[in-house]
Amino acid sequence: MTFLRKHGHWILTLYVAFVFIQSLFFKFTGSPETVYIFQGKLDPWAASLGFPGVFAPGGIFSAKVVGSFELIASALLLVGAFVQSSRLLQILGAAMGLGVISGAIFFHLFTPLGIAVVNTDGSSDGGELFTLACGVWLACAALLWIRRSTWLSWIGRRSA
């Protein structure tokens, strides 16, 4: 138990960073899977609600914007894990990761995207993206719990 208490944040940090960083190739290169998700599913759904273009390239929730936030969250998590005096960076990374991944989970659950993403060729990811997103959400929430004394004391200093 002592090992997990002392080093468990590494497992959580590395998992989140791995999931976020490995997805950057897809988001930054305009891969067919990413184009399908953002422009083929999410943007038409948003347009039907009166918000066309928010998931399209150049939109506020485009794949590159989401990928940029995932990259920043990963960098904050990793720097905060390596540099003990910068634990607040790990907290900021976990909070940012929690926000980004909460959006992903929302869009899987409440839009035509669905839990199991079915591609234009009829193949399905079998819920893999959704499962990874849930794992990232849990890992970020656990990191915030592990580091709660740091951020609670920081909030306490700010409100005084």
Write out the residue range of the structural domain in which residue 60 sits: 2-159
Alpha-carbon separation of residue 40 from 67, 88, 109 (angstroms):
18, 38, 17
- In tens digits, the chain (160 residues) has pLDDT values of 566 667 788 999 999 999 999 999 999 999 998 999 999 999 999 999 999 999 999 999 999 999 999 999 999 999 999 887 788 899 999 999 999 999 999 999 999 999 999 877 888 999 999 999 999 999 999 999 998 888 888 777 766 5
Give the separation between CA 133 and CA 107, rounded to whole angstroms: 11
Task: Report pTM.
Answer: 0.90
Domain count, the chain: 1
Give the separation between CA 6 and CA 14, rounded to whole angstroms: 15
* pLDDT score, position 150: 82
